[in-house]
A and B are shown apart, each in its own frame.
Chain A
């Protein structure tokens, strides 16, 4: 689960010297091409640790492929070390004086040419603007040729480029290192493999793909939403007992809802394509499959996925086989939800769950594919999200009677009829009954409320979300709503303003007179009071931004440019359980005036 080594068929991010990230699935026995940075067999990074920097080496005459070399950190930082050492050699002691703290550095090959020189270059006071094209004596054709024939993972190219730079000795040491960095980024054939976890993935999506798809949610905001939403592991899994319903039994055989078992459940509205759900699942420990098992287990899994792939390949086979037969073929598959379950067995845990409310008829959680979870797959290989992710539409939540899959009573059939049916019809029969039980459980348990928190990153109006979601929260449950822009959150915060709360509590609002506490909890909203202002406490809006710095000897400063665009804001608060009846604050501040003005619209 914690990315110890690169597993077959997992998604990884390859960080290239140019700063570009490539996200690919590492399939065994394929080649991975990095364009100008070279091509290598995927098998060479399988079962290797993450975060290492590899160098694509030149093809050996006896090999048909390029081998990889792990670049030691001493080589990665050779330039900085050389600078620090030069600084140390000067009488003015620099910060690099803790050389003795080094783990024996295996001396790697370096661009001897430049390093020897970098100390000698005299810093010039007048910096001339060096026009690169004018000073570079190699022609483009020559460079192309070098790139083609160049060996030593691109280092030769860089060295030759530097050597043939006419103004090399006119450069200051700073501009020299800058020039070298520029060329290194372009030609060195190195890459680093990062695991696809939520921080890496969202960074990639934000910086290199379509940021608007994830509502421009930056790592800072993701962290804040998770913390203010108090999203964490919600307790050990608890499963309802299988009601052992026979095929003749209808809805009366459904497992009854046990409200006291429900705990550690979070309500989510996610319009980031599943990224928010992934972030929450990561915090709750249900995003990654356990891969700490023995190698054998891993191999088994591999076999299974292979089997699945062949199944996929002939789609017809999969579509026609009934569920029961497919269960028989994969006795191992329902490891998590016992193999002999009846149709009405609830596959979901009662604790540690994420309930996703979606506006379309199907939730859009496509990004979960990067964690090998496909919400649309009918038969899914084991994944922790299967038992912990519940999805329902707003219609199913608010008007379940209008939803066909909820309100249509389940099919029933006696075993004899069933046995003479075609396998496909039988499969459909079971599938429908299972879906019915699942939808029933999801809708009923969601409507039972008492959620541990609400987390949102949605394009919908937050007021309309809270109107229906607030009554479902347990007392004291946190609310954390992300929005790329401030305005929707400001309007929302205004619904809970002190003036509104005071007026509401003063007992002068005509609309709420004579309403019970329960009715007020489900307040439908009026023009003046879109939400019951007493249902949320300590509402506040905030934003965070991380400013990146460059840390180099003598050149430490914030980065000159960073991503702009949407800032991102979060709204936070806690669900309150207001006391019944009129309630007044203590204190000298007399709110006479307010009360008077409140009474006016009441009488009018």
Chain B
């Protein structure tokens, strides 16, 4: 809490605090998968024709921002009675608008000296509606990924969660991301590397260096980052990385991990070397590697087609990347439902009124048969027997149902609570994503020169090995075990001795 007090610019993605705040991003959950990102505004007078200030209109009702501000995150918000009908008319009236605002506030004395205060008092208090509600949630990369404005194909949670895990994105890491796209990966990766905002230019903290080629997308992304208070944590550059590389003003971002969501990763790969690649045209100029010289660098490329993968992997091998591994992620969501089958159910949505087991079917069939026999035994009026049997059959059916209803109403009805009835089953979503992209992972170890080796060898000279670790022959293992047991025995003996001494002292 104090953190957010001293640094008011901490992103709501990273430290949302306990309550919603003005001018901060919030995600409104309208219904299960219907999320709406909004920036909460303090009501400072009429807004867009609404007396309550800014209002969110949904098919679940109208929600003035004032009802969603300074409430605990996760709060259920009731819809408000908002005058949406007269809004258009009022606005046309223009200057007179102010005078005819609200009956309830007519009595309030007009203070002319402070205009702002007047505006604030004029904000209409929201009145709760009879029905309709939404929930207000703190933004997380997962919610943002589900609700963000699409610009390109989105890297969804099943993919980015696995990628970030595998490329070792951790607090303090530096990540290069090329192809910022819609920004879902950017938000997830900034959360992964976040370990505080840098206090100065020299202060090295976890950071994401993002590159976007498309100018319009770049500008939108830039604005988004500012709105989300991520400016100090994400460095966004407008550049074609195939030709321009990954340096920031000629200096190295010293990346620990790389994520490439580009159509031709192999064209960007040569820039991500430890040493100058042979293809670089510019001779003489000093070549700077964008990678962290002290650590192994992990990379992931994200390509939808297998041809891209083949070329990427081939280029990676030639450039010295190791542990190359290609996977694709299949994610499935499962719904749980109550599967209700049985004759005793009333016809309702999602209910299958047919026998739920052989016994039930048997009972019913037997009952029908009995009725048919009863019917047949009764004296007949008509001549045509065959036709009669049919109607009897139908009537019998109906009779059984009626009877069932009566019987169940009389005893304790077991089926009156749809949430515990039936068998609990799980089902996949109606539509599943069968392919997102192929993920190619690779590692580029740190450079290791003859001099480094000589220095390390001098520091840790060999030849004085005392023991063997790893697979041991049986004898050594037995010997070690014996020694270990001996030690424990010694300790026990000493402990006993000590206990005796203490006992003596107490006496």
Which residues of A does B touch, CB under 8 Å? 1-5, 22, 24-35, 39, 41-44, 46-53, 63-65, 70, 72-74, 76-77, 80-81, 84, 95-96, 98-105, 192, 197-199, 219-220, 222-224, 226-228, 230, 232-236, 238, 260-264, 282-285, 315-316, 319-320, 351, 422, 450, 474-478, 486, 490-491, 493-494, 497, 499-500, 503, 528, 534, 537-538, 540-551, 553, 556, 569, 574-579, 583-587, 593-594, 597-598, 600-601, 604
Within the assembled complex, what's the spacing in Å between the Cα atoms of A387 and B440? 37
A101–B315 contact, CB under 8 A? yes
B59–A232 contact, CB under 8 A? no
CB distance from A386 to the nearest CB of B (A): 17
A29–B466 contact, CB under 8 A? yes
A233–B196 contact, CB under 8 A? yes
B239-247, B267-275, B376-384: which lies at the interface: B267-275
B318–A98 contact, CB under 8 A? yes
CB distance from A454 to the nearest CB of B (A): 13
3 interchain residue pairs of minimum CB distance: A476-B73, A285-B171, A475-B74
Query: In this complex, what residue of A is CB-closest to B163?
Result: A223
Residues of chain A within 8 A (CB-CB) of B471 are 33-35
Query: Is there a chain A Cβ closer than 8 Å to B294's Cβ?
Result: yes
Within the assembled complex, what's the spacing in Å between the Cα atoms of A594 and B329? 40
B221-243: contact bitstring with A at CB < 8 Å (1 yes, 0 no)? 00000000000000000000000
Residue of B15, B269, B419 near A499 (CB, 8 A) is B419
Residue of B140, B171, B172 near A230 (CB, 8 A) is B140
A232–B137 contact, CB under 8 A? no
Interface residues of B in 58-80 (CB under 8 A from A): 59-61, 71-79
Which residues of B does A touch, CB under 8 Å? 1-3, 14-18, 29, 32-33, 59-61, 71-79, 129-133, 135-138, 140-142, 157-158, 160-166, 168, 170-173, 188, 191-192, 194-196, 206, 256, 266, 269-270, 273-279, 294-296, 306-307, 309-311, 313-315, 317-336, 338, 348, 412-413, 416-420, 424-426, 438, 440, 443, 445-446, 448, 453, 456-457, 459-472, 491, 494-495, 498, 505
A475–B72 contact, CB under 8 A? yes
Within the assembled complex, what's the spacing in Å between the Cα atoms of A316 and B170? 41
Residue of A220, A226, A593 near B329 (CB, 8 A) is A220
Query: In this complex, what residue of A is CB-closest to B420?
Result: A528
B15–A264 contact, CB under 8 A? yes
Q: If A47-B460, A73-B317, A263-B15 touch, does A29 touch B465 (CB 8 Å cutoff)?
A: yes
Residues of chain A within 8 A (CB-CB) of B72 are 474-476, 577
- Excluding A24-B469, A105-B318, A585-B131, 16 further A-B contacts by CB distance (< 8 Å) are A51-B446, A81-B317, A102-B277, A103-B273, A103-B276, A233-B196, A285-B171, A474-B18, A477-B73, A490-B336, A493-B336, A494-B338, A543-B332, A544-B329, A553-B310, A586-B79
A551–B309 contact, CB under 8 A? yes
Query: In this complex, what residue of A is CB-closest to B309?
Result: A551
Q: If A95-B314, A224-B157, A543-B334 touch, does A477 touch B74 (CB 8 Å cutoff)?
A: yes
Q: If A224-B161, A227-B157 touch, does A285 touch B170 (CB 8 Å cutoff)?
A: yes
Which of B17, B140, B196 has the largest count of A CB atoms less than 10 A from its CB?
A: B140
A33–B317 contact, CB under 8 A? no
CB distance from B426 to the nearest CB of A (A): 5
CB distance from A360 to the nearest CB of B (A): 24
B317–A80 contact, CB under 8 A? yes
Residues of chain A within 8 A (CB-CB) of B60 are 585-587
CB distance from B455 to the nearest CB of A (A): 8
CB distance from B96 to the nearest CB of A (A): 33
A46–B456 contact, CB under 8 A? yes
20 A-B residue pairs with Cβ-Cβ distance under 8 Å, sorted by A, are A2-B170, A26-B469, A30-B469, A33-B469, A35-B471, A41-B462, A44-B460, A48-B456, A70-B453, A101-B277, A103-B319, A223-B165, A236-B196, A260-B1, A283-B192, A476-B73, A540-B334, A542-B334, A577-B76, A584-B131
Query: In this complex, what residue of A is CB-closest to B333?
Result: A542
Residues of chain B within 8 A (CB-CB) of A534 are 76
Residues of chain A within 8 A (CB-CB) of B16 are 476
Query: In this complex, what residue of A is CB-closest to B298?
Result: A51
A232–B194 contact, CB under 8 A? yes
B417–A32 contact, CB under 8 A? no
CB distance from B495 to the nearest CB of A (A): 7
B266–A98 contact, CB under 8 A? yes
Which of A283, A574, A598 has the largest count of B CB atoms less than 10 A from its CB?
A: A574
CB distance from B473 to the nearest CB of A (A): 9
Within the assembled complex, what's the spacing in Å between the Cα atoms of A584 and B466? 75
Query: In this complex, what residue of B is CB-closest to A287?
Result: B170
B273–A51 contact, CB under 8 A? no
CB distance from A15 to the nearest CB of B (A): 9
Within the assembled complex, what's the spacing in Å between the Cα atoms of A571 and B74? 18
Within the assembled complex, what's the spacing in Å between the Cα atoms of A24 and B278? 39
A101–B462 contact, CB under 8 A? no
Within the assembled complex, what's the spacing in Å between the Cα atoms of A53 and B448? 12
A101–B131 contact, CB under 8 A? no
Within the assembled complex, what's the spacing in Å between the Cα atoms of A51 and B325? 14
Residue of A42, A48, A233, A450 near B195 (CB, 8 A) is A233
Within the assembled complex, what's the spacing in Å between the Cα atoms of A47 and B310? 35
CB distance from A13 to the nearest CB of B (A): 12
Residue of A101, A192, A319, A499 near B318 (CB, 8 A) is A101
